[in-house]
Amino acid sequence: MTVAPPIPDVDVEDLRCEIRKEYAEVAANPDRGFHFHTGRPLAAILGYDDSLLEGIPEAAIESLAGTGNPFSLGEIATGSKVVDIGAGAGLDSLIAGRLVGPTGQVIGVDMTDEMLAKAQNAAAEAGMDHVEFRKGYAELLPVEDGWADVVISNGVVNLCPDKVAVFQEMHRVLKPGGRIQIGDIIVQKAVSEGAKRNIDLWKG
Amino acid sequence: MVVAAGLEDFELTWRAEVFDGAPQESSAASFGTLGVNFRAQKPG
Return the bridge partners of A108, or none. A84, A133
DSSP-derived 3-state class of residue A81: strand
- What is the residue range of B13's domain? 8-41
Contact of B29 with chain A, judged by CB distance below 8 Å, is answered with no
Provide mean pLDDT across the span A7-22.
88
ipTM of the complex: 0.95
Considering only alpha carbons, which residue of chain B is nearest residue A185?
A: B35
Considering only CB atoms, B42 lies closest to which of A174, A182, A187, namely: A174
**Which stretch of A6-10, A143-147, B12-16, B34-38 has the lowest confidence by average pLDDT?**
A6-10
What residues of B are in contact with residue A201 (Cβ under 8 Å)? Answer: 27
CA distances from A181 to A8, A85, A122, A146, A156 (A): 25, 11, 23, 16, 12
Q: How confident is the model at residue A4 (pLDDT cuts 50, 70, 90)?
A: low
Overall domain count for chain B: 1
Res A22: pLDDT: 95
Question: Could you tell me which of A143, A111, A154, A113 has the C-alpha nearest to residue A12?
Answer: A111
Q: Which fold has domain A12-186?
A: Rossmann fold (3.40.50)
Residue B24 is assigned to a structural domain of this protein: yes
Each residue of A42-99: pLDDT tens digit?
999 999 999 999 999 999 999 999 999 999 999 999 999 999 999 999 999 999 999 9
CA distances from A197 to A112, A193, B12, B22, B23 (A): 22, 7, 27, 24, 25
Provide mean pLDDT across the span A110-129.
98
pTM (2 decimals)?
A: 0.95
